[in-house]
Amino acid sequence: MTVLVLVAPGSEEIETVAIVDTLVRARIEVLLASCCPAGLRQIRASRGVQLVADYHIDELTSRDFEAIVVPGGLPGSEAIRDTPLAIDLLREQATLGRWRAAICAAPVVVLQHHDLLGDANVTCHPGFQAQLPTRQLSTARVVTDETHRLVTSQGPGTAIEFALALVRVLRGDEAALAVAGPMVMPPAVTP
């Protein structure tokens, strides 16, 4: 099975690339899907880096994903939030009990906006934390809620930890450690 990573103009490039790169290192197939309103695969990320998606979201032929991941960044998170097919896929993923993940602004701007957090324990970028109910909010760098099959994280500086948490939930601790070692991750952030 594959992991779908959603991107749009203004998505955060460090988060996007760190997620894709880390998952690929774990031999997980990744599809990058553009939610560009103009139907384009090439997007300009939040700091001006050009990224080219494998597909535009409208071109996807499968809805069967092991996980769906939403990088943060503005206005990228807002564009994903406003893409009906992206939200349909995220809702379906939750209904099927499959993994979802969001980082930075995306837990609030995308998932909370569409009532896709439930009562999961989550984190997000510190600039958005006040928008989450305190009973759900964690200030941890990465939060994995096994019950809700949801991984959330705070921002670009936590992107590799976030991606390693995804590797852990999808492939296990050994796989996460095998990827983290050659990346020279500090022991404190290695799963």
Return the active site residues. 104
- DSSP character at residue 133: -
The sign one gets for the Cα dihedral 122, 117, 115, 15 is positive
Q: Length of the chain, please?
A: 191
Residue 66, classed as helix, strand or coil, is strand
Integer angstrom CA distances of residue 138 from 41, 99, 123, 167, 185: 34, 19, 5, 21, 23
Q: CA-to-CA distance for 43 and 22, rounded, in angstroms? A: 21
Pair of tokens at residue 75: 């206005």
Pick from 101, 56, 55: which is nearest to 83 by CA? 56
